[in-house]
């Protein structure tokens, strides 16, 4: 069964009380990051980036234990370094150890979001990675 882990994580962020809404200021993938005309300065992006090799799962039928990695990127306005930093940390906290079936474990790989500097318009950026593990039936 194909699972869209990035979309699932985005839904967790949207439900996390952070003021993030899918399609408004929360986006799947990196495609809109540079589109200053339509993307708000304060935005969040979730992109599936890979993961561990599938592991055999014992317990009936052909099933695998999968861990998928996603990158979460948070952008803030030029004048709002602290606000962006707070949003990135809050997003990390919403996702780390989130209880979201059918996921067995959702875990953030860093203790704090990584500040990666500013873009060409002086907007600040943070990033962190999330591993989401689940048992999947093999077709």
Residue 75: the pLDDT is: 93
Phi-psi region of 120 (alpha: psi -120 to 50; beta: other; left: phi over 0): alpha
For residues 88 and 123, is the Cβ–Cβ distance under 8 A?
no
Report the distance separating Cα 76 and Cα 125, nearest Å. Answer: 7
Q: What is the pLDDT of residues 96-107, one digit of tens each?
A: 999 999 999 999
Number of domains in the chain: 1
For residues 85 and 129, is the Cβ–Cβ distance under 8 A?
no
Higher pLDDT, 35 or 113: 113
Per-residue confidence at 88, pLDDT binned at 50, 70, 90? very high
Host domain of residue 47: 5-137
**C-alpha pair distances (Å), 99 with each of 47, 91, 111, 123, 126:** 20, 15, 19, 32, 24
For residues 13 and 44, is the Cβ–Cβ distance under 8 A?
yes
The whole model's pTM is what?
0.89
Q: Give the chain's mean pLDDT.
A: 89
Short-list 64, 62, 84, 65, CA closest to 75: 84
Domain containing residue 88: CATH number: 3.30.2000.10
Share of the chain above pLDDT 90, in %: 66
Per-residue confidence at 65, pLDDT binned at 50, 70, 90? confident
Q: What is the pLDDT of residues 10-62, one digit of tens each?
A: 999 999 999 999 999 999 987 555 556 678 889 999 999 988 877 776 666 67
Q: Which residues contact 89 (CB under 8 A, 6 or more apart)?
A: 112, 113
Higher pLDDT, 135 or 113: 113
């Amino acid at each position: 069964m194909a699972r869209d882990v990035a979309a699932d994580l985005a839904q967790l962020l949207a439900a996390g009380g952070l003021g993030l809404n899918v399609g408004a200021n929360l986006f799947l993938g990196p495609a809109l990051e540079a589109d200053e005309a339509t993307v708000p300065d304060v935005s969040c992006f979730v992109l599936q980036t890979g993961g561990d090799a599938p592991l055999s799962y014992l317990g009936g039928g052909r099933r695998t234990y999968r861990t998928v990695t996603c990158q979460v990127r948070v952008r803030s306005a030029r004048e709002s370094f602290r606000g962006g930093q707070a949003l990135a940390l809050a997003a990390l906290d919403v996702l780390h150890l989130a209880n979201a079936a059918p996921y067995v474990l959702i875990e953030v790989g860093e203790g704090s979001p990584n500040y990666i500097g500013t873009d060409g318009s002086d907007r600040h950026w943070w990033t962190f990675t999330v591993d989401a593990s689940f048992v999947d039936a093999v077709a």
